[in-house]
Amino acid sequence: MRRMIPPGALCTFLLLAGCASAHAGADVPKDITGTWLVEDVDNTGVIDNARLSVAFDAQGRVSGLSGCNQYSGTYTGDGTALKVGPLLSTRKYCSPALMQQEERMLKSLQAATALAWTADGAAMLSGPAPHRLRLRMESPPTRDGSGFGPGHLPITPIPDSYRCGDEVFKVAFEEGVAYVTLPEDSMVTLPRVRPPGGSDQEAPRVFSNGNLTVIQEIEGGRAVRFARGRMVPLLCERL
């Protein structure tokens, strides 16, 4: 006995098939290198106004913000497989909810073994259940400064070019973040490291993710210093 398919269900099926076909040819990223914002942790969403980020560079380093602390480490990948860690993290304390979310995010990031892409360009990092992260590429500033940053807010001022030792960088500063375009054209987002007891607008502003540090010398004519890892910060020449 043949089963009849109601006309409405058939139309729905055809529409879904058409949507799948349309998405099949959509452009999706082919490289994890870059800075990504975390949209979902273990299918539980992300706390409102919490900033979770993952930045993969071309040298096999990973860093970012986990909602409360900064972390850094290494990663390897071949396009569909991914291995992250071990990771090192700062030890600042935040609200219990943020700390619990941070713990889940870092566990899922280090548990990731597979990388896949959705039709709309999100990166899916997955490991043994329940570990799963959905990442969305953060829009970097363009070379003329007309790009957009987190939340699609215009970045101001226009990025400036600096020569720091033998390297040239582009840097755009906001109140709580610095966008650094590296010589190889990848962009890193550096959060501002607040001094104990609050922020002093006249003191140098320090932006760091643990691997890279940019210091904006407010009192010294806005001179900029740059350092990698534990090296002594170099005074940069504005170009």
The pLDDT tens digits of the residues spanning 25-56 come to: 344 456 888 889 999 999 999 988 788 999 89
Q: Are strands 177-181 and 187-193 parallel, antiparallel or unpaired?
A: antiparallel
Average per-residue pLDDT for the chain: 76
Predicted structure pTM score: 0.52
Render pLDDT for 196-231 as a digit per residue (tens, 0 to 9). Answer: 665 555 668 888 888 889 988 865 446 888 988 888
Sequence-distant (6+) residues with CB within 8 A of 210 are: 63, 70, 71, 72, 88, 90
**Which 3 state secondary structure label does DSSP give 225?**
strand
Provide the pLDDT for residue 23: 37
Tell me the CATH number of domain 150-238, given options 2.40.128, 1.10.10, 3.40.50, 2.40.160. 2.40.128
pLDDT above 80 (res 16): no
Sheet with 167-173, side-by-side order of all strands = 234-235, 223-228, 212-217, 205-208, 187-193, 177-181, 167-173, 160-164, 237-238
Provide the pLDDT for residue 205: 85
In angstroms, rounded to a whole number, what is the distance separating the alpha carbons of residues 36 and 137?
4
33, 57 contact by CB (below 8 A): yes
pLDDT above 80 (res 142): no
* Alpha carbon distance, N-terminus to C-terminus of the chain: 79
Q: What CATH code is assigned to 34-137? A: 2.40.128.270
Q: What is the mean pLDDT of residues 71-95?
A: 87
* Dihedral sign for Cα atoms in the order 77, 79, 82, 84: positive
Give start-end residues of each CATH 2.40.128.270 domain in the chain: 34-137
pLDDT > 70 fraction of the chain, expressed in percent and rounded: 72
Sequence-distant (6+) residues with CB within 8 A of 174 are: 149, 155, 156
